[in-house]
Amino acid sequence: MALHLNLYHEIQKTKALKRRDPLKISLYVLGAIAIAFATYYVIQVLYMHSLVEDFNKKKADYDKLAPIAKTAKKREEELTLKVKASDALVQRLEGRFYWAPVLEQFITVVPREVQMMRLNGDLPGDGLPRCAIGIDGLSAGSDPRKVAEQLRTALADAFKTRFKKVTSTFRTLEDGTEMVMLDGKQTPTATFAIVLQLYLTDSAPEQAPTRKKR
Amino acid sequence: MKLGKEEIQKIVLGVLLFFGMVYSYFNILLGPLLAREDAFEKSIKGLGPATAIANAQIAQTKQMEAEAPKVAMIVHQVNAMIPPGSPVAWFPTRMADFFKAHGIERVTTRLNSESIDKRYTGYRKLTWGIDATRVGFVQFAGAIAALENDEPLIEITSIQIDAGREDVEMQHVLITVNNLVKQ
């Protein structure tokens, strides 16, 4: 084998060293990173631009709507007041307590053996939709107390159909001192006072709690 | 491979430049940009519901506006039931005429009190005492039925009927009513 001498090895070595120069390679890497950063930044700037456009468009829409909505809210408040006032009027007109049917019931229920001396009806206005009626009268017959009792129960039964809850109680029931003529006979009498409570709703007032005995 | 002094200096400088560039990129360029993006995204998200609420408000008011004539009609009807002028001038006469038309003479009407109920904006409530000295129970019940039907603004709050001592067929009646009049 013939001896081969490379007289350029010095030049080739220098060239190879230049090719593998770390400074140059790191500069290339740095350049690549810089380009990547710049590209990402540009993408973000473009995205930001689109966001700004979107925001401006939506803000313009909202700025147009906001004063209209504000006026609408004010108008709604005015209308709500009017509606409330109107509802209150309707409620008053339709939610009145009608006395005529109550008086009609008295005409049908009170028997001929009873003389009503006083009828006192009142809407207490304590928040509960109810009517309190006090009836003072005179009952006559062979057993006038029984007649008064029959009137009390008859009143309760008669009003039960019309009202949610009815209570009918005696405030007083006493034998009368005078005798009255009924069907040509002198009959004894009894004086009574009945309290009739007519509730328009189921919510009757709760009884006061009784004190515990020690 | 041995690095010369000059090359080491270059590498150190390059590394410093690299860190400087990375720091500047994140803190001066990208950081504030991302923060602004975030703020804009939040603002856009916030505008969505605000716009929806505004639209809903406008729609709701439009609906109420559509119902307004009905409300105005009720108020107009109520106002039409109230005669002009001072109630003291017209109400007692009206009651006297009404009961007279139902066969009940000698009816006296007096103003008991006057109040303002907040529920009835634009109206005041007058309470009257109506006194009839001689009236039959059945006749009175008929008149009350007619009164309740003909006068929707009147509400009877109490009735007191006393049987006469001399004539048990005739009663003395006192009713308390309240009615609404314009303020």
Residue B38 has pLDDT above 60, yes or no: yes
**Looking at the complex, does the CB of residue B159 fall below 8 Å from at least one CB of chain A?**
yes
Are B177 and B126 contacting, i.e. CB atoms less than 8 angstroms apart? no
Give the separation between CA B140 and CA A9, rounded to whole angstroms: 140
How many residues make up chain A in this entry? 214
A53 contact B CB<8A: no
Output the CA torsion A53→A59→A63→A65 (10° steps): 110
Q: Residue B152: what are its φ and ψ, rounded to 5°?
A: -65, -20
Residue A213, pLDDT > 50, answer no
Q: Which domain covers residue A111, as residue numbers?
A: 99-199
Choose among B130, B137, B128: nearest CA to B161. B137
Check whether residue A61 and residue A92 sit in a common domain: yes
CB B132 within 8 A of CB B115: no
Helices and strands: H and E segment counts in chain A: 4, 6
> Does residue A114 sit within a domain?
yes
Inter-chain residue contact A58 with B51, CB threshold 8 Å: yes
Residue A146 maps to which CATH number? 3.30.1360
Looking at A96, A114, A142, the residue that finishes a domain is A96
Q: Which two tokens stand for residue B50?
A: 């605000």
Smallest Cα–Cα separation from B64: which of A63, A84, A90?
A: A84
User: Any idea which residue has 């029931």 for tokens?
Assistant: A173
Q: What percentage of residues in chain A have a pLDDT greater than 70? A: 91
**Helix or strand or coil: residue B131?**
strand
> Do A137 and A82 fall within a single domain?
no
Tokens of A25: 């390679």
Task: Identify whether A138 is part of a domain.
Answer: yes
The 10 Å Cβ neighbour count of residue A123 is: 21
- Residues A57 and A149 grouped into a single domain: no
d(CA B118, CA B122): 9
> In chain A, which among 58-87 make CB contacts under 8 A with chain B?
58-59, 61-62, 65-66, 68-69, 72-73, 75-76, 79-86
B28 touching chain A per CB within 8 A: no
Whether the CB of A109 is below 8 Å from some CB of chain B: the reply is: no
Q: Which pLDDT does position A100 carry in this prediction? A: 93
Statement to judge: residues A120 and A37 lie in one domain: no
Q: Considering the domain boundaries, does residue A122 fall inside one?
A: yes
Cβ-defined contact of B54 to A17 (cutoff 8 Å): no
Could you tell me if A32 and A58 lie in one domain? yes
In a domain, A205, yes or no: no
A154–chain B Cβ distance below 8 A for any pair: no
Average pLDDT score, chain B = 89
Is the pLDDT assigned to residue A188 strictly greater than 90?
Answer: yes
Domain limit, last residue, from A53, A71, A96: A96
Residues A130, A154: one domain?
yes
Residue A158, pLDDT > 60, answer: yes
Kindly state whether residues A63 and A114 are assigned to the same domain.
Answer: no
Task: Answer yes or no: is A68 within a domain.
Answer: yes
Judgement on whether residues A88 and A141 belong to the same structural domain of the protein: no
pLDDT at residue A172 tops 50: yes
**Residues of A with CB below 8 A from B58's CB?**
65, 68-69, 72
Which residues of chain A lie closer than 8 angstroms to B160, CB-CB?
Answer: 118-121
Given A54, A76, A96, the domain boundary residue is A96
The answer to whether position A117 is within a domain reads yes
- Kindly report which listed range (A95-99, A124-128, A189-193, B48-52) carries the lowest average pLDDT score: A124-128
Q: How far is A2 from chain B, CA to nearest CA, in Å? A: 32
Q: Is B39 on the interface with A (CB under 8 A)?
A: no
Q: Is B115 on the interface with A (CB under 8 A)?
A: no
- State the residue for tokens 């409570």: A197
Question: Has residue A21 been placed in a domain?
Answer: yes
Beta bridge partners, A197, equal A132, A167
Over its C-alpha atoms, chain A yields an Rg (Å, rounded) of 51
- Our CA-based measurement puts residue B93 at a distance from the nearest CA of chain A, in whole angstroms, of 22
Q: How many domains does chain A have?
A: 2
Q: What is the pLDDT of residues B52-80, one digit of tens each?
A: 999 999 999 999 999 888 888 988 999 99
A32 contact B CB<8A: no
A61 and A128 part of one domain? no
Mean pLDDT for A41-47 is 94
Residues A29 and A58 in one domain: yes
Residues A104 and A178 placed together within one structural domain of the fold = yes
Q: Give the whole-angstrom CA distance, residue A205 versus residue A171.
A: 19
Residue A212, in any domain of the structure = no
Mean of all residue pLDDT scores within chain A:
86
Inspect the interface and report whether the beta carbons of A58 and B53 lie closer than 8 Å.
Answer: no
User: Under an 8 A CB cutoff, do A83 and B145 touch?
Assistant: no
Buried b or exposed e, range A127-137, using 16+ CB within 10 angstroms:
eebbbbbebbb
- Say if residue A115 is in the same domain as residue A186: yes
